[in-house]
Every structure is written in structure tokens, then in C-alpha cells.
Structure 1
Amino acid sequence: MLLTSEAVTNAINACVGKHCTTPVTLYAGWSDPHRLRVLVHDEAPGLPTCRTPTPDAEDGRGIQLISYGSDAWGVCTHGPGPGKATWFELGR
């Protein structure tokens, strides 16, 4: 739940900053019987980056958490329409 929350929050924040007119979309399902894949799509331009925030920063850890907490993750820009999808996978 934490990783999904971080991915959705990142997408919403990107859209608010870029004035997107379409909603953020969340997909989740088993990519095979042993791996859960979560994908969050938004139409904001730009790609998320893994930052190293200062210890007292209140944001900037979302992609770090996804990177550390998942078995695999990435960002894809192919597909219909603008924007990108951030995805991650977890083993059972």
C-alpha cells in the first residue's frame, strides 16, 4: 500500500504542477502467478527521478521508497497519448 500511495501521490503532484486535464489512472494485477504489478499513469510531461532529499525535507522520497521496496520498477512513455506510467512489481 505504501508504494502504491507514493506512486499515486507523485503522479497527482506532477499533474497539479503541470495543469493536467485528465485523471491519474491506477492499474494493478498479477503479471504472472507470483508477481503483482502496479502501474500509475498520468499525462504530465517529464519523468520522475530518484532524488536524495535532505534529512529534514518533507518530500522527495517517493521514487526512493519505490526503488527500495519493490522487486523491480521503472517508467515507460510508450502507449497512447502523452505522459508516462510509473510501475513496480512485488513478488508474492
Structure 2
Amino acid sequence: MKPIGLILGAAVVLAVPLLGMPAAHADGSFDCWFGQRQQEQDGYALDAWSCSGTGYVDFTVTVRSGAAAGTYHCGRGFPWNGTLGAHSCSMTESGAKRTP
């Protein structure tokens, strides 16, 4: 087999498992005990404490108490040592992104 055939064959073998992968989903979720929010141009900015979870882009946040209590879908954020700073957040009932 010629080298180009080997490369194409290897590409097919590597690509086949990807065909069965599910569609894209949220990067993660956070559960936080306290939080506050403020309006910004593209939604809310959240500051939350006592958080556990993972995610940096397209994630959900549940804030249990404080001025920001509720569930949000956020576009981007940064967790650090149990705190979370998130931006482009919109309040939702279930954490799913709402379409306008």
C-alpha cells in the first residue's frame, strides 16, 4: 500500500469512533451557596462563593442563597478556590439556555 493510502486508511479508522459521539453540551455546572449579581451589557455578571463544580464556557450555575439566588446559564467564567466569577449569565428555571 502506498503511503497516501496508509494515511487515508488511518484517518478513517480514527474518525469512525467520533461518528457515534453525542451532540455538544454545556461545559459543566456549579453549585454555589452564596452569590451576588450585577447587570452587564450581555446579561448578568455573577460573583459566587462556596462553589463546587467544573466548567469555563457554556455552563450552568445554581446559587442557593443571597441576592443572586436562582439558576443561571453562563457564557464564560473562572472558578478559583471555591469562588466563581461568571459573565454573560441569564436566569433560567432549569439551567438550560433560554432562546429569546
Q: Could you say which TM-score interval applies, normalised by the shorter chain? A: 0.3 to 0.5
Larger Rg: 2
Q: Which is helix-richer, 1 or 2?
A: 1
Query: Using CA pairs below 8 Å that are at least 6 residues apart, which structure has the higher relative contact order?
Result: 1
Q: TM-score, normalised by structure 1?
A: 0.33
